Amino acid sequence: MKRNLQIGLFCICVIGIGAFFYFTTREPPTRTATQSTESTVQSTIQSDPTTESSSEEFPSTASSTETSRDSEREQAAAERKEAILALIGEFGKRWLNYSSIGKRNASVVELCTEKAVKDNGLAADPHAEFKGEGKFTLVTQDVDQTDTYLLFGNDVVRETIHRQVLLQLKVVEVDGSFKIDEIVLNYVQQAY
């Protein structure tokens, strides 16, 4: 019984290794679905004698229209991302570099929605008069929530307290411009 189990496991391993090498060494097909569709449409049009003069124009016109639409979408997405990153960068500079907490809060109010100002008490002055300096070293987009960004950085407060900062920001579009709608601030403590 034990011997049969060992032989079965050995066969499964050999088959698995063989399948792995088969799928990793074979060449992928070079023809895409779009190319196949275009060539089919082109050959159908060329075989029809009534449309012989337009046979060369149809595929190129369709693909150029699609290309221009894709290009416009990509450009709009790039401009959107650039605007969001500029907002986040400015917010990060103002959040970590301040002469007092009240001045810091007042400086970021214009970058936030009313909800964020209210939820985080940014309109109030806590009368905490100490200086902070810092820098964000990494900005990344949340995988699950694409409107949320994570900022990682370092903060020096009162010239003696060194902290690692993780700031989670949710960005929304309000009246054609981007604003920060939610702020979650975490201070990270290194264990080792």
What's the token pair of residue 146?
A: 């694409």
DSSP 124: S
- Give the span between the Cα atoms of 75 and 159, in whole angstroms: 43
Q: Could you tell me the pTM of the whole model?
A: 0.61
How far apart CA 113 and CA 122 sit, in angstroms, is 11
| pLDDT tens by residue, the chain, 192 residues | 777 777 777 767 667 676 665 666 665 554 444 444 444 434 444 444 444 444 444 455 556 777 888 888 899 889 999 999 999 999 999 999 888 888 999 999 999 999 999 999 998 888 888 888 888 889 998 888 889 999 999 988 888 788 899 999 999 999 889 999 999 999 988 787
Other beta carbons within 10 angstroms of residue 105's beta carbon come to 22
Burial of 19 (0-12, 13-18, 19+ CB in 10 A): exposed
CA distances from 87 to 17, 77, 160 (A): 50, 15, 29
Q: Compute the radius of gyration of the chain from its Cα atoms.
A: 29
Tokens of 180: 């920060």
- Tell me what pLDDT residue 162 has: 85
Residue 108: predicted pLDDT: 93
- Tokens encoding 3: 């011997």
What is the set of domains in the chain, with CATH numbers? 76-188 (3.10.450.50)
Query: How far is Cα 146 from Cα 169, in angstroms, rounded to an integer?
Result: 11
- Rounded CA-CA distance 173/75 in Å is 18
**The pLDDT value given to residue 65:** 77
